[in-house]
Amino acid sequence: MYHDNIVNPTNNKNFTSDRILNNQDLHFDQQHIWHPYTSAINPLPCYQVTKADGVYIHLSSGEKLVDGVSSWWTAIHGYNHPALNDALKAQVDDFSHVMFGGLTHKPAIDLCRTLIDLTPEGLDRVFLADSGSVSVEVAMKMALQYWACQGNDRKKRFITPRNGYHGDTFAAMSVCDPINGMHNIFTGTLTQQVFAPAPQTRFDKQWNEDDVKPLEDLISKHHNELAGLIIEPIVQNAGGMRIYHPEYLKRCRQLCDDYSILLICDEIATGFGRTGKLFACEHADISPDIMCLGKALTGGYISLAATLCSEDIAQGVCQGEPGVFMHGPTFMGNALACSVANASLSLIQQGHWQQQVAAIEKQLNSELVACLELDSVADVRVLGAIGVVECKAPIDVAQLQKIFVKQGVWIRPFGKLVYIMPPYIITPEQLQQLTRGIYQALR
């Protein structure tokens, strides 16, 4: 099912006619292309994009939408950024890709050096991967191989809080929420992990020591079989956009140390400034044994991820048979992706994101609170450049998105949640268009 506005290109003079979708194209898309989290029987509407620049997504009908979700939290610098464009153009003239097995290149070395410098202390080894889900697979595989090479073949499971989300591949699915997550249909085929109750103390509330007790009890009971604890630091994202107290994460670090369990922090969604800190771990002043990065790493240009670990873990993984880490993505260390990531991190290092995210947080707190007046709204929560409105009942995604498009904003709700995670470069006026759009749509 498609919205009518995607077949009328007349208002978009910057888009060539041979790239406008005709009815045959639209029919093919609907019948043969599977979009994310969409039914093949009754697909959600799709809108044709002809151009993107700054915070705007341009549709073929001429609508110009303020992007409220940064293309699933990736485009932190906005679209069509000249520095990122130039990085890609310069690299493509040298080479786009070479295999990373037995070969190396400066874009990858520069990227890994920067990641080690930026991330919490102690993360000194970098494994480059294709996507966030793969980086989680790598992290879990790394933990399992580490314990096997230490002669401890009992540590083969992971513990994680409920309401978490770590990706759609099989190992990653096994540590997503088994009931309220998106993968409960696969329960019988996934490795059975250990799930603790989700943290309950909110970020801005008084810490409740009882919050961590269930986790501590489970770790005490299962620690001999646990290879690692995997958690999204401070913000549980696709599992419900829940923002919890930093003390919970600090206690996770302490429990892992006490019971010889590896701490894996999934910073794929929270990394690179989204929560107001460069990495969400910094809210608790902790460093994990293994960290997963992705999404905003390339500023939304090309899929790239990284799994970082301590030198102790890297050495431990390679101490026993087979003596190497058994993983190697075909496009690992892709030069184009590394080059644009370097350009994106260079912008991050300039430090403007700190003022930008602080300003976004202040405005979100000021403007989204009005939604609490609406009968349909259960909660509003904000951290950094994340704003969440939780409704009392599930949302009709297609209907609400149609309303948002008419208001000139692009917001992708899910479940009971309407959330925004805009590009850092958004202006107060553009951000107000998003917050006002949410209020008007829900009203």
Residue bearing the bigger pLDDT, 43 or 57: 57
DSSP letters, 262-275, are: EEEEE-TTTTTTTT
For residues 28-43, average pLDDT: 87
Distance CA 108, CA 335 (A): 7
Distance CA 354, CA 375 (A): 35
Nearest CA-CA partner of 282 in 233, 235, 236, 232: 233
pLDDT at 3 over 80: no
Strands of 105-193 (E only): list them. Answer: 125-129, 157-161
Distance CA 375, CA 390 (A): 12
Q: Tell me: the pLDDT tens digits for 336-360?
A: 999 999 999 999 999 999 999 999 9
Confidence category of residue 220, pLDDT binned at 50, 70, 90: very high
Q: Tell me: the pLDDT tens digits for 54-107?
A: 999 999 888 999 999 999 999 999 999 999 999 999 999 999 999 999 999 999
For residues 175-188, average pLDDT: 76
Q: Give the Å distances, CA to CA, from 220 to 75, 223, 248.
A: 41, 6, 17
DSSP letters, 170-229, are: HHHHHTS-TTTSS-GGGTTTS---EEEPPP-SBTTS---GGGGHHHHHHHHHHGGGEEEE
Q: Tell me: the pLDDT tens digits for 106-117?
A: 999 999 999 999
Contacts of 21 (CB under 8 A, 6+ apart): 6, 7, 29, 48, 60
Asked whether 340 and 302 are in contact (CB, 8 A), the reply is: yes
Dihedral pair phi/psi, residue 242, rounded to 5°: -95, 135
Strands of 240-332 (E only): list them. Answer: 242-243, 262-266, 290-293, 305-309
Specify the 3-state DSSP secondary structure of 402.
helix
The strand pair at 235-236 and 125-129 is best described as: unpaired
First to last CA, the chain: 26
Bridge partners for 49 per DSSP: 59
CA 48 to chain CA mean position, Å: 24
Distance CA 220, CA 214 (A): 10
Confidence category of residue 7, pLDDT binned at 50, 70, 90: very low
Contacts 24+ apart (CB under 8 A), 67-71: 67/410, 67/422, 67/423, 68/409, 68/410, 68/411, 68/420, 68/421, 68/422, 68/434, 68/437, 69/410, 69/411, 69/412, 69/419, 69/420, 69/421, 69/422, 70/296, 70/300, 70/421, 70/422, 70/423, 71/300
Catalytic residues: 37, 165, 266, 295
Q: Give the Å distances, CA to CA, from 14 to 25, 62, 139.
A: 20, 10, 44
For residues 402-415, average pLDDT: 95
DSSP letters, 334-387, are: -HHHHHHHHHHHHHHHTTHHHHHHHHHHHHHHHHHGGGGGSTTEEEEEEETTEE
Confidence category of residue 432, pLDDT binned at 50, 70, 90: very high
Q: What is the pTM of this model?
A: 0.93
Tokens of 130: 């294709």
Model pLDDT, residue 149: 94
